[in-house]
């Protein structure tokens, strides 16, 4: 039995180089930081409804050749540590993309009410993200990518911690109505000792929200 392999199709599934398929890095973005646009928020079928997949496209990146590549981060709902970390991750994601606003937070707190967020509305929004590479615990010869800062290295486009990260100002301007702006105290510039294009700014893990 013979099979036909159309390389025009293989390019679309990240298999344009057959000799690099088994490296695990073919088509995968490089560790770095920059502007991304969210393409999807969907249920992770392998987790029986207990996780979602956040897919985004790299719009501007510290490795220029990676622009246009996509990445998927799994966000699990179960709070195994008892510290509320899954909800913190989702709140952070909603806040940095403008889905959750400072005014909405203040109003909910004043009224003593919960906030219901339709996370599907994340699609199409932009944010700043840092991706880091870590070795696999099961196979030291392999590595995997994930969102840095214990999963919360996601920032609003106005955040001073991303001031030197690669951006596409035209895309940000086109998405401004969706993402809004940060309060002046949060967005104000602060000195950085190293360019963030080579080393991302270490996040403050005590910050639940970026405002």
Using one digit for the tens of pLDDT, what is the confidence trace for 55-70?
A: 999 999 999 999 999 9
Q: Which helix (H) or strand (E) holds 20?
A: none
pTM for the full predicted model: 0.76
Supply the pLDDT for residue 48.
63
pLDDT in tens, 6-35: 666 655 555 556 665 555 455 789 999 999
Structure tokens given for 176:
């401004």
The full set of domain ranges for the chain reads: 27-187
CA atoms within 13 A on the CB side of 165: 30
Interatomic CA distance for residues 208 and 201, integer angstroms: 17
Among the residue ranges 62-76, 137-151, 162-176, the one predicted with the least confidence is 137-151
Percent with pLDDT over 70 in the chain: 72
* Rounded Cα–Cα distance for residues 109 and 52 (Å): 27
pLDDT over threshold 70, residue 1:
no
Burial label, 65 (beta-carbon count in 10 A; 0-12, 13-18, 19+): exposed
């Amino acid at each position: 039995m013979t099979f036909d392999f159309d390389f025009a199709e293989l390019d679309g599934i990240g298999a344009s180089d057959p000799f690099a398929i088994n490296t695990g890095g073919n088509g995968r973005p490089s560790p770095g930081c920059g502007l991304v646009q969210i393409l999807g928020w969907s249920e992770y079928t392998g987790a029986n409804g207990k996780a979602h997949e956040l897919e985004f496209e790299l719009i501007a990146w510290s490795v220029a050749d990676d622009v246009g590549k996509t990445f998927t981060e799994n966000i699990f709902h179960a709070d195994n540590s008892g510290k509320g970390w899954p909800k913190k991750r989702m709140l952070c994601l909603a806040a940095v993309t403008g889905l959750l606003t400072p005014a909405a937070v203040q109003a909910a707190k004043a009224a003593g009410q919960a906030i219901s967020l339709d996370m599907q509305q994340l699609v199409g929004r932009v944010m700043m993200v840092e991706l880091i590479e870590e070795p696999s615990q099961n196979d030291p010869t392999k590595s995997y990518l994930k969102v840095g800062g214990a999963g919360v290295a996601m920032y609003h486009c106005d955040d001073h911690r991303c001031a030197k990260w690669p951006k596409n100002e035209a895309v940000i301007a086109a998405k401004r109505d969706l993402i809004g702006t940060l309060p002046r105290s949060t967005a104000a510039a602060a000195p950085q000792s190293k360019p963030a294009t080579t080393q991302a700014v270490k996040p403050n893990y005590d910050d639940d929200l970026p405002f």
